[in-house]
Chain A
Amino acid sequence: MAHAIPTPAATGSVAPSDLAIPVRELAPWLVLGALFALSVLVLISSVQGAITIPEGTAIHEWVHDGRHLLGFPCH
């Protein structure tokens, strides 16, 4: 593998490591993405009726079959 050379006129092909996106740039996306993904998973998989909010099981009932078939605990 050719090592990263700052000049643009290097070899014709690009070494994979040249493509790495800096962690500083990715971190906020990953944090937000993880939080959003977790909120949706919690909402789908449980919360209403299972963990909190005794009344109001609308979401819980609505996505009921998806929860069973996607392997989340139910019943």
Chain B
Amino acid sequence: MGARTFLVHGLVAGLLAGIAAFVVAYTVGEPQIDKAIALEEAASAPASDGHDHTHADSDESAGHSHGDEAAVSRTAQSTVGLATGTLAVGVVLGGFTGLLAALGLGRLGSLRPAASTALLAAIGAVSFSIVPFLKYPATPPAVGSGETIDSRTAVYFGFVAVSVAGAVAAIALARWGARRWSGVPGVLAGLGAYALVVVVAAVAFPKIDELGDFPAGILWDFRVSSLLTLLAMWAVIGAVLVALVDRTWRRHSDVRARRELAASL
């Protein structure tokens, strides 16, 4: 069981996760995006002169164009474009989670490979996607000003970085605590440390509220669909990776048992 095997497992899991995320995003998410864009276009219709508004000259909430005059058509954005995004993100998250599972192998207490892999995938989902979503939930098109996109992007990824670093520190603390005391207090210390880091960061990081009078119903539906997309992605990464790692582990221990039997004869 080497790094290469884990990377391949992770990439396969990520590819399937990207497909699952696309299916969820397309079926539940796209209807909400369409509604939001329709609102956006209705709002900016009087000002529209039919020209393509780009980032440089847009003075309104729209960061970029969406209509028929856009560089990429809505049909492409909602199908192949969406699939490109979910597949690319799925593959890199899956591949990296595979490598993390390789690092976690035999290092998380007495957990067997399938269990340590599942734990790392869950920590990845919580620290990279779910906790950041709670602080900075996804927003549909028509929400957010083009002028603040740079600072919003920086603040979002800053928060993700703090959350992920907090998770890494929490794992280190949990391992240290487990060696020093025992498993349960060690894990509790790790959980407590992560919660503390995230709560302090959530209070310290700026609040972003550019919702204006965007309809609450569409906003809620959009956010649920976004969360479902992220959960589908991580669930498939975790499930497929655990299944593949467990299969490899069984083969590995079979071979080993047979070799030991042969040596003992």
Give the number of A-B contacts (CB < 8 Å). Answer: 200
Which B residues lie within 8 Å of A51 (CB)? 150, 153
Given contact pairs A8-B263, A73-B136, A63 touches B3 in the complex (Cβ within 8 A)? no
Task: Determine, out of B195-203, B224-232, B235-243, the stretch whose residues face the partner at the interface.
Answer: B224-232
On whether the beta carbons of A74 and B56 are closer than 8 Å, the reply is no
Please report whether the interface of chain A is mostly helix, strand, loop or mixed according to DSSP: helix
Chain B residues 145-167 with CB under 8 Å of chain A are 145-146, 149-150, 152-153, 156-157
Chain B residues 245-265 with CB under 8 Å of chain A are 249, 253, 256-257, 259-260, 263-264
> What is the CA–CA distance of A69 and B25 in the complex, to the nearest angstrom?
7
Which B residues lie within 8 Å of A16 (CB)? 105-106, 110-113, 116
Asked if B127 CB lies within 8 Å of chain A CBs, one says: no
On whether the beta carbons of A19 and B99 are closer than 8 Å, the reply is no
Given contact pairs A68-B138, A69-B29, A75-B142, A41 touches B153 in the complex (Cβ within 8 A)? no
Chain A residues 10-37 with CB under 8 Å of chain B are 10, 12-21, 23, 25-26, 29-30, 33-34, 36-37
Give me the interface of A with B, judged by CB distance under 8 Å: 1, 8-10, 12-21, 23, 25-26, 29-30, 33-34, 36-37, 40-41, 43-46, 49-51, 54, 57-58, 60-75
Using A9-B260, A75-B139 as known contacts, list a sample of 12 further A-B pairs with CB atoms less than 8 Å apart, ordered by residue number in A: A17-B110, A19-B106, A20-B105, A30-B99, A45-B157, A61-B77, A62-B81, A65-B77, A66-B81, A69-B29, A70-B226, A75-B145
